[in-house]
């Protein structure tokens, strides 16, 4: 019975939103990373992406896990709205990075890039998943084109990330 109560408490805590590590207005750490888009390997450079406009940088625990599939599908379904507001979406993880090519094609529907988060990126964005070392938390940053954090949100439940980041992008665009 004690194990069941402990598991229930841990599950309840994992669904509670917590403050993201980097506060609004902080300078986003720049990085380059290897990843995939539409089933093809690519490289991503955050500084170059920010020249095009704001970036929604979302960290997720691991490719092909239930919550991460839901989140990737939801971002893919709304990608047109992000693009209309001038934003680029990039997903990052440290879990199951050997499957990012497949994940980019299947769960991201080829709509945006997903990349491998290095230990430096994980530390810079403070997204290490304590319960699973080497994996990342579910944290979404909206980064303005000037490289500053416009919005940050951490919640292990995937549902709120898309609406919140889209609202932050619209706010940046003056909508």
pLDDT in tens, 73-88: 999 999 999 999 999 9
How many domains does the structure of the chain reveal? 1
pLDDT above 70 covers a percentage of the chain that reads 88
Confidence grade of residue 134 (pLDDT, cut at 50, 70, 90): confident
**Domain harbouring 120, CATH code:** 3.40.30.10
In a domain, 52, yes or no: yes
pLDDT digits (tens, 9 = 90+) for 2-52: 443 333 333 333 443 445 579 999 999 999 999 999 999 999 999 999 999
Is-contact 31 124, C-beta < 8 A? yes
In a domain, 109, yes or no: yes
pLDDT for res 20: 58
pLDDT for res 88: 98
Residue with tokens 């990737």, as numbered in its chain: 72
Confidence grade of residue 133 (pLDDT, cut at 50, 70, 90): confident
Residue with tokens 């986003």, as numbered in its chain: 28
In a domain, 5, yes or no: no
In a domain, 3, yes or no: no
Residue with tokens 């993201």, as numbered in its chain: 20
Q: Is the pLDDT of residue 126 over 60?
A: yes
The whole model's pTM is what?
0.88
In a domain, 58, yes or no: yes
pLDDT for res 15: 40
- Other C-beta atoms within 10 Å of 42: how many? 16
Is-contact 82 89, C-beta < 8 A? yes
Between 121 and 4, name the one with better pLDDT. Answer: 121
In a domain, 10, yes or no: no
Domain containing 25 equals: 18-173
Per DSSP, the three-state class of 116 is: strand
Average pLDDT of the residues in 108-126: 96
In a domain, 144, yes or no: yes
In a domain, 4, yes or no: no
């Amino acid at each position: 019975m004690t194990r069941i109560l402990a598991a229930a408490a841990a599950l309840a805590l994992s669904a509670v939103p917590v403050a993201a590590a980097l506060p609004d207005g902080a300078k986003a750490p720049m990085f380059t990373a290897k990843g995939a888009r539409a089933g093809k390997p690519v490289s991503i450079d955050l500084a170059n992406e920010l020249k095009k406009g704001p970036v929604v940088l979302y960290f997720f625990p691991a490719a092909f896990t239930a919550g991460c599939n839901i989140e990737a599908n939801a971002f893919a379904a709304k990608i047109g709205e992000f693009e209309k507001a001038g934003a680029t979406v990039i997903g990052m993880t440290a879990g199951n990075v050997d499957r990012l090519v497949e994940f980019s094609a299947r769960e991201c529907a080829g709509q945006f890039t997903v990349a491998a988060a290095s230990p430096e990126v994980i530390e810079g964005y403070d997204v290490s998943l304590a319960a699973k070392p080497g994996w990342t938390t579910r944290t979404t940053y909206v980064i303005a084109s000037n490289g500053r954090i416009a919005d940050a949100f951490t919640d292990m439940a995937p549902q709120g990330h898309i609406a919140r980041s889209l609202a932050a992008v619209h706010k940046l665009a003056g909508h």
